Every structure is written in C-alpha cells, then in structure tokens.
C-alpha cells in the first residue's frame, strides 16, 4: 500500500501519520521527491482501514500495490535511486563502467589491467577472487589472496573495486570491497542476500541463470528488507534454447525494469554472450536501451586467461567501446561517471 501525501502538509501531521502506521506493526518507507511525498507501507497491510486513511486531511490518495516486491517498487519511490560508492554515483543520469578480468590471477596481471582500464575510462575495477565454477576441477580463484591483490590494485589506482561473494562466512573479508557482487548462481541464496543486506554495503545483484524479472526483484527485496537500499541490478543474459551464445541478453529487461523499479540497472555483455566479438554491439545496444552502466570483462592476455578468456576483450578494444559509448551518451541524457 502507498499513501500519497498532500503537497502542503505540515511536518507534524506527517510525523503523526507515520507514528500511527508504525503503531499498527507496519514498516514505513518515506520517499520525498520534488513533486510528491509518498509513504510506502511494508508488512501485512490488511490491518489498515483504507477508507479511514483516505479520509485524513493530509492524505491525497491511497493505493494498494499488487506486486509482491515493495521497497524495490517504483510506486514506492518514483525517483531513481542513485547508489553512491567511494565518491562515484551509479543510477539516475550517470553512466558507470565496471571493467576488469574474470579472475584475479596475479599481482602483475590485476595491476596492469587496472591501469589500462582506468586510463581508458573505466570507473570501477572488477576481478573475481572466489569463482563460482561449474567444475570443481576448474580454477577456483585465488580466494583470500585474490582479495588482497584486488585491494592492492585499488590502492595503486584509486579505483573502487567490485568482487563476488559466495559465502556469508566470508563477509568480514569483504570489509574493504566497495561493491559486493552476488553472482547469478546465488541470486536466490536467500541467507546470503540477508547477510549482505545487513552489511549496508552496496550490492551488485546479478540476474539468475533462469530467473524471471519478478523473482530477481524479490531477491533485491531480500537485501532491501534488511535496511540496505544500495542495490544495483545487473542483467547478464538468461538461458534459452540458443546455443551460439553462452546466454541470451534480455535487452527488454532494461526498459521494463526502469518502469518497475527505481534501482539502477546495468548490463554484463561478456557473460550474456560468451563471445568477445559481441561485447561491443551488446554494450552499445544496452546504452541505447537505457542501461545505467556496463560490467565488461577485460584481460590483457585473453588467450591465456585462467577463466572466461573467450569472452574477454583486450584493453584497446575496451577503449574503442568507451569511445563509442561517449558518442552515444548525450542521446540518452546520461553522462559518464
Ligand atoms: C562473474 O561476473 O564473474 C560471473 C561469474 O558472472 P555470473 O554470476 O553472471 O555468471
Ligand atoms: Mn567471468
């Protein structure tokens, strides 16, 4: 349920209303925008007499919300959420580029890639330390040591870092990580979602391999219901019958999500296609569809990469993509951040 408050209300009236709602055992999400003030009610709203609320002086309108996700719902929060991370912004009219290797392989590798990514316009450095691999015999990532190397690259370049968490037991190790990634395979690991929710740290929530948009938003809701509203969604392709590509990029999810939610939406064209040569066209298509950013796998030696070399582009190709994005951004009213 949302309560739209009259523009000329007095603060005291609003405070009283919020107090009354909380007294009914419900949570309140207050959204104060330029044109409207909205109270989003979270919990079992059947206890609320909608006609009574509608008759209050301060109330302009009351609506029940049909969707199961509330805090992530655009109706609760009409204005775009902008997530601030280490002085940078993701969401709204900002366009953010996260880039780096699939996995951190050595100090030399991560620092060399970080420097090039930064020079060519990347805003955030990615790199996997804990890798979710289909085979237990495949490279599992450098784990704790990988995190240390990523932090070193952050220190050297000043770039905020993004890396995937696979277990709630690792949360303390992620203290200095700027943006915690929940990978596709963990999108519905609800205990993990709750734990990262409790940290209050920005979370990059990737779409599950075969999950609907509604299921994805419910996962965002898990994080948000712990009080952490710093959630960024990442479309990374879904499983279809098509086998030429690793996954199928669901481009329509981008404009659709922008209707359904106020959370920022970025795209990972690398995992979506699995093919380096498709990364540029899919990146530009994502800009055109209204994405708030991209996450791209970049490697300085893709042929010898320990993970996902086939879909990794070289730094110089990354530069070409960023240059083309810069040409497109004014057309979609965004600026690179
Ligand atoms: C990744 O970003 O390294 C990754 C494993 O992606 P996904 O969870 O989307 O497969
Ligand atoms: Mn990868």
Residue 36: its pLDDT value, please? 87
- Residue 226: exposure state from Cβ atoms within 10 A (0-12, 13-18, ≥19): middle
Q: Ligand 1 pocket, 206 CB below 6 A?
A: yes
Q: Ligand 1 pocket, 236 CB below 6 A?
A: yes
In 3D, which of 257, 259, 210 has the Cα closest to residue 237?
A: 210
Which atom of ligand 1 lies nearest, measured to the CA of 308?
A: 3
In 3D, which of 180, 158, 160, 161 has the Cα closest to residue 171?
A: 180
Q: What is the pTM of this model?
A: 0.97
Domains, in order of start, for the chain: 2-63 (3.30.70.1140), 83-336 (3.20.20.70)
Which atom of ligand 1 lies nearest, measured to the CA of 102?
A: 3
Q: How far is the CA of 82 from the centre of ligand 1 (A)?
A: 23
Which one of the ligands is nearest to 133 CA?
Answer: 1
Q: How far is the CA of 102 from the centre of ligand 2 (A)?
A: 4
Assess contact for 99 and 45: CB atoms under 8 A: no
Residue 109: its pLDDT value, please? 98
Q: Ligand 1 pocket, 204 CB below 6 A?
A: no
Q: Ligand 1 pocket, 102 CB below 6 A?
A: yes
User: pLDDT by residue (tens digit) across 242-280?
Assistant: 999 999 999 999 999 999 999 999 999 999 999 999 999
Q: Ligand 1 pocket, 179 CB below 6 A?
A: no
User: pLDDT by residue (tens digit) across 44-70?
Assistant: 999 999 999 999 999 999 999 999 999
Q: Ligand 1 pocket, 162 CB below 6 A?
A: no
In this structure, the dihedral spanned by the alpha carbons of residues 88, 92, 95 and 98, taken in order and rounded to 10 degrees, is 60
Which atom of ligand 1 lies nearest, measured to the CA of 185?
A: 8
Residue 318: its pLDDT value, please? 98
User: How far apart are alpha carbons 272 and 183 in whole angstroms?
Assistant: 13
In 3D, which of 271, 262, 304 has the Cα closest to residue 187?
A: 271
Which atom of ligand 1 lies nearest, measured to the CA of 236?
A: 9
Mean pLDDT for back-to-back runs of 10 residues, the chain (337 residues): 94 95 95 91 93 95 95 97 97 98 98 98 98 97 98 98 98 98 98 98 98 98 97 98 98 98 98 98 98 98 98 98 98 96
The enclosing H or E element of 165 equals: none
User: How far apart are alpha carbons 48 and 109 in whole angstroms?
Assistant: 58
């Amino acid at each position: 349920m949302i309560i739209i408050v009259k523009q000329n209300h007095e603060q005291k009236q609003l405070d009283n209303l919020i107090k009354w709602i909380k007294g009914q055992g419900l949570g309140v999400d207050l959204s104060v925008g330029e044109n409207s003030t909205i109270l989003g009610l979270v919990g079992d709203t059947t206890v609320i007499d909608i006609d009574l609320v509608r008759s209050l002086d301060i109330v302009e309108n009351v609506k029940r919300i049909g969707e199961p996700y509330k805090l992530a719902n655009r109706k609760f929060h009409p204005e775009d959420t902008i997530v601030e991370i280490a002085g940078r912004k993701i969401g709204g009219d900002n366009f953010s580029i996260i880039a780096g290797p699939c996995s951190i392989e050595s100090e030399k590798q991560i620092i060399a890639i970080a420097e090039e990514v930064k020079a060519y316009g990347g805003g955030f450095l990615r790199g996997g330390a804990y890798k979710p691999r289909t085979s237990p015999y495949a490279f599992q990532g450098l784990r704790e040591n990988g995190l240390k190397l990523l932090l070193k690259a952050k220190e050297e370049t000043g770039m905020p870092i993004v890396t995937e968490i696979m277990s709630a037991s690792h949360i303390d190790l992620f203290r200095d990580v700027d943006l915690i990634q929940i990978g596709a395979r963990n999108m519905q690991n609800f205990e993990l979602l709750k734990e990262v929710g409790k940290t209050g740290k920005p979370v990059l929530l990737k779409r599950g391999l075969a999950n609907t948009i509604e299921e994805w938003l419910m996962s965002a809701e898990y994080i948000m219901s712990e009080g952490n509203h710093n959630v960024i969604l990442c479309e990374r392709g879904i499983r279809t019958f098509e086998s030429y590509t690793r996954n199928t990029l669901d481009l329509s999810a981008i404009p659709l999500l922008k209707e359904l939610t106020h959370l920022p939406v970025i795209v990972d064209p690398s995992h979506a296609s699995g093919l380096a040569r498709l990364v540029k066209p899919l990146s530009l298509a994502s800009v055109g569809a209204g994405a708030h950013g991209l996450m791209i796998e970049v490697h300085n030696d893709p042929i010898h990469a320990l993970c996902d070399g086939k879909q990794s582009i070289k730094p110089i190709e990354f530069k070409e993509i960023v240059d083309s994005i810069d040409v497109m951004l004014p057309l979609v009213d965004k600026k690179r951040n």
